[in-house]
Amino acid sequence: MKYELVAGFETHVELATNTKIFCSCTTQFGGEPNTHCCPVCIGLPGTLPKLNKKVVEYAIKAGLATNCEIAEISKMDRKNYCYPDLPKAYQISQFDMPLCNHGYIELSNGRKIRILRIHIEEDAGKLVHSHGSTMVDYNRGGVPLIEIVSEPDIRSIDEAREYVEKLQLIMRYIGVSDCKMQEGSMRCDVNISVRPEGSEKLGTRTEIKNMNSINFIAKAMEYEFNRQVDLIESGEKVVQETLRYDDVTNTTSSMRGKEDANDYRYFRDPDLVTINVPKSRVKEIATELPELPAQKLERYVNDLGLPEKDAQLLVKYRKVAEYFEKASDGTKNAKTAANFIIGQIFRTVENESEKEKFDVNVSAENLNELIKLIDGGKVRMNLAKSTLDKMLETGKKPSELISESDMAMLDESALTELCKQAVESNPNAVNDYKNGKEKAIKALVGFVMKNSRGKADAVAAESKIKSIIINN
């Protein structure tokens, strides 16, 4: 029997506010343990929380960017459970009246992964296990989160990967989070079940908790899918439980039984007022949103004529996209800028983190200047490429590296003379061309381009060389 994977995600995204959700402590990552906390965020008796307005605005942005409806009225609730990283023994979250409802993210295959809700809540502290002891760092406690809960609409590991990548990209584009999974500012709980292919009935789900790597998510899902299939085919039952993933052994193991909502004994937080978001304010926030990745990709392909693969590479990082738009502004062909960025400039940017920052030695304005020299016929592509290499090394402008003589065009007689020299100096290439090897002409054109220091027009040179060979 064939089985189908069914998965949904609960994705926690730390919001990039300067202060925590209910107090004025910093949200800065790192620091000495227990130095970024106060009586409010560690829940000392008698303290009162006050909701950070920016948290609500960021959550609304996230909801609008994922096609959600924004609730005019929502509230905060207490989610009760005892765990060392939660000193109050409850987490302030949202239960039956979340801020955002019923959105979706569309995948490349056309499938829409429905988003049930996005709600705001506080993060818990962090447990540090060392040499058999467990310590608690409350610096992260009270950092504002949004939890993005999807419906069980994901049907493959590839879809899961794309969903998380798109969610991460959207949150970064709208500026609500850096979504650095390695720092815990984006974490996923993966709910997974299996069912016979063609069945509409959902199987018993398990939850793989606190995944902070897309690659580990993929590996954990594959293992858990196979584990559940093996259980079913062996006549055993899948137990609803919360699991942890061990990346060393590539296995999942039980943490505890899976809780349902009634286990948390939710009730309204009496210390916090109702959240009222007028429709007019939602419209104002909507105008603050940038062009989203899907819209940008469509524009690059349809309006700028970029190949889809090139457009995807540019859109993947917001700062790269911003750089590309400045570099290509006012140029004749945006693909020239795309080629320089994806080719020469990307070769100097070693990893994903550097591409996110995209702090390169050539400013977008200087690249734009170089491309306009190409557009104006003042420099040929070979010279432009070598100039860009020098710009990447030195940070200098094109005008500081290309002289007036470099930009002087090769006149007709000089081009003819160089073409004759190419034919005379490369008899083997000439014979190969005469014998039907079309590519041999490229060697002759290369001779002209090299000896003209890139000033020759390659198309004109090729035409002239063919004419000389035919007439000899």
For 91-106, letters b (16+ CB in 10 Å) and e give bbbbbebbbbbebbbe
SS3 (DSSP) at 136 = strand
Range in 103-117, 148-162, 331-345, 452-466 with the lowest mean pLDDT: 452-466
For 265-284, the pLDDT digits (tens) are: 999 999 999 999 999 999 99
Whether 222 contacts 48, CB under 8 Å: no
Q: Are residues 370 and 452 in the same domain?
A: no
Q: Are residues 120 and 260 in the same domain?
A: yes
For 181-202, the pLDDT digits (tens) are: 988 899 999 999 999 988 889 9
Q: Are residues 210 and 295 in the same domain?
A: no
Whether 39 contacts 47, CB under 8 Å: yes
Q: Backbone phi, then psi, for 140, in 5-degree steps?
A: -80, -15
Confidence of residue 218 (pLDDT cuts 50, 70, 90): very high
Does residue 365 register a pLDDT over 80? yes
Region 18-47 average pLDDT? 92
For 187-218, letters b (16+ CB in 10 Å) and e give bbbbbbbbbeeeeeeebbbbbbbebbbbebbb
Domain boundary among 253, 284, 315: 284
Q: Are residues 189 and 166 in the same domain?
A: yes
Task: Spell out the residues 6+ positions from residue 27 whose beta carbon is closer than 8 angstroms to its own.
Answer: 14, 15, 16, 17, 18, 19, 20, 36, 143, 144
The number of domains in the chain is 3
Q: Are residues 132 and 188 in the same domain?
A: yes
Provide the CB-side half-sphere exposure for 373 (13 A, CA).
28
Whether 342 contacts 313, CB under 8 Å: yes
Q: Are residues 377 and 396 in the same domain?
A: yes
Q: Are residues 35 and 85 in the same domain?
A: yes
Region 159-167 average pLDDT? 96
Whether 313 contacts 306, CB under 8 Å: no
Whole-angstrom distance, CA of residue 100 vs CA of residue 313? 30
The domain in which residue 395 lies consists of 291-407
pLDDT value at residue 405: 46
For 430-445, letters b (16+ CB in 10 Å) and e give bebbeeeeeebbeebb
Whole-angstrom distance, CA of residue 296 vs CA of residue 169? 12
For 224-267, the pLDDT digits (tens) are: 999 999 999 999 999 999 999 998 899 998 887 666 667 789 99
For 396-428, the pLDDT digits (tens) are: 999 888 765 455 556 678 788 888 898 888 888
For 384-394, the pLDDT digits (tens) are: 888 899 999 99
Region 346-371 average pLDDT? 90
Q: Are residues 419 and 366 in the same domain?
A: no
Whether 341 contacts 323, CB under 8 Å: yes
Whole-angstrom distance, CA of residue 241 vs CA of residue 250? 18
pLDDT value at residue 446: 87
Region 31-35 average pLDDT? 92
Range in 239-248, 297-306, 457-466 with the lowest mean pLDDT: 457-466
For position 430, which CATH number holds? 1.10.10.410
- E strand or H helix that includes residue 8: strand 3-14
Domain boundary among 238, 258, 284: 284
Provide the CB-side half-sphere exposure for 8 (13 A, CA).
18
Q: Are residues 258 and 146 in the same domain?
A: yes
Inter-helix orientation angle 157-173/53-65, to 10°: 130
Q: Are residues 418 and 401 in the same domain?
A: no
Mean pLDDT rounded to a whole number for the chain: 91
Domain boundary among 218, 249, 284: 284
Whole-angstrom distance, CA of residue 426 vs CA of residue 430? 6
Q: Are residues 127 and 45 in the same domain?
A: yes
Identify the CA nearest to 118 among candidates 9, 281, 222, 260.
9
Whole-angstrom distance, CA of residue 314 vs CA of residue 113? 24
For 119-152, the pLDDT digits (tens) are: 999 999 988 888 888 999 999 999 999 999 999 9
What Rg, from alpha-carbon coordinates, does the chain have? 30
Q: Backbone phi, then psi, for 358, in 5-degree steps?
A: 45, 55
Question: pLDDT exceeding 70 applies to what percent of the chain?
Answer: 97
SS3 (DSSP) at 19 = strand
The H-assigned helical ranges of 329-457 are 334-340, 352-357, 364-375, 381-394, 398-401, 404-407, 412-425, 427-434, 440-451
Does residue 332 register a pLDDT over 80? yes
Q: Are residues 459 and 328 in the same domain?
A: no
pLDDT value at residue 383: 82
Q: How many CB atoms lie within 10 A of CB 5?
A: 21
Query: What separation, in Å, do the N-terminal and C-terminal C-alpha atoms of the chain show?
Result: 73
pLDDT value at residue 406: 58
